[in-house]
Amino acid sequence: MNVRFGVRQVTALVSVIFGLVGACQMPSKGPGELAWAMRYDPKTFDPAKVDEQASEEVRFLTDGVLIRVNRRTQQPEPELAASWNVSRDGRMISFRLRQGLRFSDGSALTSRDVAWSLRRVLDPATAAPVADEFLAPQEVKVEAPDALTVKVHLPKRVIGIENVFDEIAIEPAERPSEGKVTSGPFTVVDYKRGQYVRLARNANYWRRDAAGVQLPYLTGIRLDVLNNREREISLFERGEYDLIDSLPPDYFGLLQKKNPRAVLDLGPSLNTEEMWFNQAPGAPLPDYEKAWFRNRAFRVAVSQAIHRADLARIAYDGHATPAYGFVSPANRAWHNDGLRFPHEDVAAAAQLLAGAGFHKSGSSLVDAGGHAVKFSILTNAGNAARLKIATLIQQDLAAIGMQVTVVALDFPALIDRLMHKQDYEACLLGLSNVEPDPNTQMNMWISSSPNHQWDPSEKTPATPWEAQIDKLMQEQGTALLQKNRKLAFDQVQQIVADEQPFIYLVYPNTLYALSPSLVGVEPSIFQPGLIWNIANVRRQGTK
């Protein structure tokens, strides 16, 4: 017998083998079940201890909360609490629970469970990250005067206190179960480290649709632990996965070509990509470099020399918006529409540098002391768009004579240099903003904060403008009137645009891939953008 193998046959054989291997490794998807990938294993299933995205996703899907923030309107809506009331002085919030609430194991959910869950979160021994949002958690008092009422007494007013309850899961009192007994739409039924988390429908979930059908519609969810974009895209294309959260821009076009209805670009997200120079006085850098980085003219000139439109078009395939400030235009409530910022202008940048004592020697820029201006931009390896941005900036800055080296490090090495050794010159990273409220950015702008990246943990503000930012951030955090908060925060945005401690580059767009067979999804730029109303999501043709 004469058997001939052509390229097609070999490709088909290889595909079949890989398909079989893949199929063996992956549990099958049941009817009415959704599946998608999470990048890494959840660190914890204890809803009180959640501090990273994978755990947060599981918490969101499994746990019931008193108030849920609608990701479309950004307004708090009643969930387990039928209603709530904040006192006039903002120091007391009382909740009235719905009647007949039950946990997934059938036991009754009462104010005792709510009070216990809140006290557990506020207890310093739990080390719940959300506790910090109460400002002085150890002084908060919780009482349950009757089976349906819970009162929370705060030592001082906390702005937007309702939204904090969106992050606090209500668990059975004295019986924390790490997601196995919940009051949310799903419960954790199976977890295999490095493979998947499987959730099943909570048959006792309180919510019903308009026709009286009990929610959620889905029978379950499978979250695969998969940190391989290529494989994730391929599984989505094959219908194994139903959605992709934060789709990389280069894959957007690829999926769009195959099925335009499967991809969504919601426009600018709340996130920013930015670069900054190390201004820490203790950094192990030569004094002349520190002098460059502390020089406002130097930073503004760098900002003016960068072609942000090219960054958005090339690095993000057009799925990003040039950024000049730290508040995205998507954050309509807090964006400063009247922001004045240094416009892109290479000639103006050169002029500014000349005024600050820099001059050209051949094609290189040198400072007044004769030192050639060369520095490295540190970024994290593995982010293709960010590496492209760094390469584009390298050429942009070469136009004004700056010699830039791009260094991509793995994340632990990068964090070590940024946070511990402060051994770097410039850094390019992105910031994920989950909440639109300025209070969530407090730790970035207050000069004494360790996350005040350009000069962490300042004992006293190093410059008058940093002192001014401190003052204004405190003002916006304590002002009683929204317009006063906005006024103060607008000024912070203006100071940052004037001084350029962070040089903002782009606002990446919110990109999703979503199976067209899903009904009820209400995509939002706020996390978790595709699954925030998971109880209402169903597959077309199912009930």
* Contacting positions for another protein (CB under 8 A): 230, 233-234, 248, 250-251, 253-254, 257, 307, 310, 313-314, 374-376, 378, 381, 384, 388, 391-392, 394-395, 405-408, 413, 423-425
Closer Cβ to another protein, 254 or 462, answer by number? 254
Minimum CB–partner distance for residue 473 and another protein (Å): 32
Closer Cβ to another protein, 230 or 287, answer by number? 230
Record the tokens describing residue 371, joined without a space. 């030192």
Record the tokens describing residue 235, joined without a space. 């599984």
Minimum CB–partner distance for residue 267 and another protein (Å): 21
Closer Cβ to another protein, 319 or 538, answer by number? 319
HSE, side-chain direction, 13 A CA sphere, residue 8: 0
Minimum CB–partner distance for residue 407 and another protein (Å): 5
Instruction: Tell me the C-alpha distance between 540 and 543, whole Å.
Output: 8
Minimum CB–partner distance for residue 24 and another protein (Å): 23
Closer Cβ to another protein, 96 or 307, answer by number? 307
Closer Cβ to another protein, 124 or 412, answer by number? 412
Record the tokens describing residue 394, joined without a space. 């390298």
DSSP assignment string, 201-238: E-TT---B-TTSPBSP--SEEEEEE---HHHHHHHHHT
Minimum CB–partner distance for residue 376 and another protein (Å): 4
Closer Cβ to another protein, 140 or 378, answer by number? 378
Question: Nearest-5° angle of CA 267, CA 269, CA 273?
Answer: 115
Record the tokens describing residue 453, joined without a space. 């990246």
Minimum CB–partner distance for residue 476 and another protein (Å): 37
Closer Cβ to another protein, 19 or 355, answer by number? 19
**Contact between 184 and 202 (Cβ < 8 Å):** yes
**Contact between 117 and 93 (Cβ < 8 Å):** no
Instruction: Tell me the C-alpha distance between 185 and 174, whole Å.
Output: 21
Minimum CB–partner distance for residue 250 and another protein (Å): 4
Record the tokens describing residue 30, joined without a space. 């049941």
Alpha carbon of 362 to those of 368, 398, 399: distances in Å? 15, 12, 12
Residue showing tokens 């009647």: 99
Minimum CB–partner distance for residue 453 and another protein (Å): 17
Instruction: Tell me the C-alpha distance between 189 and 166, whole Å.
Output: 23
Closer Cβ to another protein, 209 or 250, answer by number? 250
Contacts of 454 (CB under 8 A, 6+ apart): 276, 277, 278, 279, 280, 501, 502
